Structure 1
Amino acid sequence: SHGDQEFFTRNELIEVFDLANIGRSAGIFDRDKLQALNAEHIMATTPKNLIAPLRPFLKKANIEIEEDDYILNVIETLQPRSKTLEDMAQQALFYYREDISFEEKAAKKFLKSTALEPLRLLTVKLEALENYTQENLENVFREMMEQTGLKLGKIAQPVRVALTGKTASPGIFEIIAILGKERVVPRLNKAIRYIEVNVDK
């Protein structure tokens, strides 16, 4: 050990390592602590330096990635949410797969008839939006809140399920901005059709 410090970079470990400081008592393997430390290392690594180690995990899911701004943005949104690279790869799937399926509980809770109006309204507004930036997306949601009288959560959660298939994801404005209009609008339309077909009015 080195005082109360638990997190070390490789260079720090080299600098402070001393055989005289190795304890004689048996070590205890703590998986939770290991994952917590791994999460810290993921956060401390630049997105660019995570591309290469992340690539094989995505390849297992038949996803090939390019070293471009898209993957850098994807990684940046997932770093605070990932304990391992395998975890990050699983969370990244919705950014790449077009065949998004809705988790049953998520669809039952949020893809209801009450979600039709905000989903349709958002689709229209996004199709008309020329300058597709996160700031403008936030303005679109504010306009929708004023028009519908709904709070952000009532709008954002159905949209989150429509785009990711799940109830948990990075920030809604981040994922809408990263996915881009060409991915977002078809997914919103898919969710609208799902509600129209599967939910009693």
Structure 2
Amino acid sequence: MSVVTRFAPSPTGFLHIGGARTALFSYLYAKRFGGKFLLRIEDTDRERSTQAAVDAIFEGMAWLGLNSDFEEIYQTQRFDRYAAVIQDMLAAGTAYHCYASKEELDQMRAEQQARKEKPRYDGRWRPEPGKVLPEPPAGVKPVVRFRNPQDGEVVLDDLIKGRIVFASEELDDLIIARADGVPTYNFCVVVDDMDMGITHVIRGDDHVNNTPRQIQMIRALGGTPPKYAHVSMILGSDGAKLSKRHGALGVMEYRAMGFMPDAILNYLVRLGWSHGDQELFTREEMIAKFDFDHVSAAPARFDMEKAYWVSHQYLKVTEPAVIAPEFDWHLRRQGVDPANGPALEDVILQQRERCRTLLEMAEKSKFFYAEVGSYNEKDAAKHLSAKAAPVLNALIDGLTGLAHWQPADIHGVVHAVAEKLGLKLGDVAQPIRVAVSGAAVSPPIDQTLFLLGRTATLARLAAAAAHAAKAAPAA
């Protein structure tokens, strides 16, 4: 039997980090066993579902590279199929019409609570042998309820949580179609999972209580329930419910923050799953090693600092050509055209040791592609004072005459100027940094000037020399 998994979000908001982890686990399990992964939009809640949320889900999944092996699937496009199944169930006696009004049900629950009983539907419209049902009230459109078996128990052998047993008598008769004919979530999921051949359902553990009802419905329809794996929730680093202050953001917000998609996946896969002490995984390694034997049933904790650490490690070891398209995206968001400067891969190689994210890298690399609009005030006061003018002019003279614009040759000029003027190397290097980048931090000087190019370097040194000549003497 080929493995088929699914990720089935409701489009009522962005693709959040918990949903992305569930999608990742589903994707990895299918791919490990040569199976297929399916994305299904569960949009039966038409009041809360929005096209913007649908778009956000597809955008997030595409950015993460968690691509469905099937065409787009929407539950709202399957209403005819649901209606047909409900008619079959009514005919088979596994479902029935219920005419109880909201007021009746509210009173029923209030009385049960007064008796300190668990609130549940009392089966007043449930057909039973020898039971006489009242006449349907005129003008009332009924809901359709699943006739849940009342004997025995439902055993769930969860791939993460282990065996969970539910008494059938504790499961009341679930509404599977509302009075307006719209099918409900739990029913649609069952029909979809059966029709689409889902073999493994991987989802959040907030769905555990839905599972026995869904298993009963699948059996009533003559199907075989899939295997279930309920993933624990994600908490904040302090153990509290995950919120925005912990990092509970939409997936695309992480892109804006400068994370690479595979870095996010690498971090997410370790939220609840482990493979020895290994921290960093390629996508191929995740697929080859993922299993449920090493997924913890305990809640995972989201640590933003750890996520930044993973991002940094990923930037340091990933091929620059893989990083370059995302780096390009960030530079353009900074208003910079990457065509106006050195190759992105070369800049990445020089910057990645000192940058945890691509946002940081883009901010620190803008000077390679755009003119320096202004100098950092503190750095300019310290390094572009009047005494820096002769240093910068000496550099201009030395660099202008270079036969070859190569890092080693540039390095030689900087050292020669320092030696000629009797200065420490830092007293020469720091004015250069401020001159060409606007601040006192940059990659190594020889590499920086090499990537910037002769023309831009000399122009910026001249502008800084003029600035320094007008500055007050250093204190």
Which TM bucket (shorter chain)? over 0.9
Same amino acid, percent of matched pairs: 31
AA of the residue aligned to 1:81: R
Q: CA separation in 2, counterparts of 1:67 and 1:59?
A: 11
Q: Of Structure 1 and Structure 2, which has the larger fraction of its residues in helix? A: 1
Aligned counterpart for 2:343 among listed residues 47, 65, 70: 70
Cα distance change of structure 1 residues 60 and 122 upon mapping to structure 2, 3 Å threshold: same
Which amino acid in 1 is paired with 2:410?
L
Q: 1:37 aligns with which of 300, 306, 310?
A: 310
TM-score norm. by structure 1 comes to 0.93
Shift in Å at residue 100 of structure 1?
Answer: 3.5
User: What is residue 17 of structure 1 aligned with on the other side?
Assistant: 290
State the alpha-carbon separation in 2 of the partners of residues 115 and 69 from structure 1.
27
Aligned twin of 1:141: 414
Do the aligned partners of 1:94 and 1:100 also contact (CA within 8 Å) in 2? no
Which residue matches 1:167? 440
Contact 1:51–1:67 (Cα < 8 Å) also in 2: no
CA deviation digits over 1:35-84, x for unaligned, max 9? 11111111221111212112221111222224996222112111112211
Alignment partner, residue 322 of structure 2: 49
Between Structure 1 and Structure 2, which shows a larger proportion of strand residues? Answer: 2
Q: 2:395 aligns with which of 122, 145, 150?
A: 122
Contiguous gaps of at least 5 residues in structure 1? none
Stretches of structure 2 lacking an aligned partner (at least 5 in a row): 1-273
Tell me which of the two structures has the higher relative contact order, counting C-alpha pairs closer than 8 angstroms and 6 or more residues apart. Answer: 1
Q: Which residue of 1 aligns with 2:470?
A: 197
Q: Amino acid of the residue matched to residue 459 of structure 2?
A: P
Report if aligned partners of 2:389, 2:466 keep a CA contact under 8 Å in 1.
no
1:81 to 354, 357, 367: 354
AA partner of residue 64 (structure 1)? D
- Aligned-pair RMSD on alpha carbons? 1.7
Structure 2 distance, partners of 1:40, 1:66, is 27
Task: Tell me the alpha carbon deviations over residues 124-178 of structure 1, each in whole angstroms, 9 at most, x when there is no partner.
Answer: 1111112111111111122112211111111001111111111111111110111
Question: For residue 163 of structure 1, what is the amino acid of its counterpart?
Answer: V
Question: For 1:68 and 1:100, how far apart are their aligned partners in 2?
Answer: 16
- Paired residue secondary structure (1:59): helix
Return the offset for 1:27: 0.9
Q: Say whether the 8 Å CA contact 2:340–2:369 is kept in structure 1.
A: no
Q: Secondary structure at the match of 1:19?
A: coil
Shift of 1:200: 4.2
Indicate if the aligned counterparts of 2:429 and 2:445 stay in contact, CA closer than 8 A: yes
Q: Comparing 55-64 with 65-74, which one deviates more in the overlay? A: 65-74
Question: Conserved in 2, the CA contact under 8 Å of 1:160 and 1:172?
Answer: yes
Select the structure of larger CA radius of gyration: 2
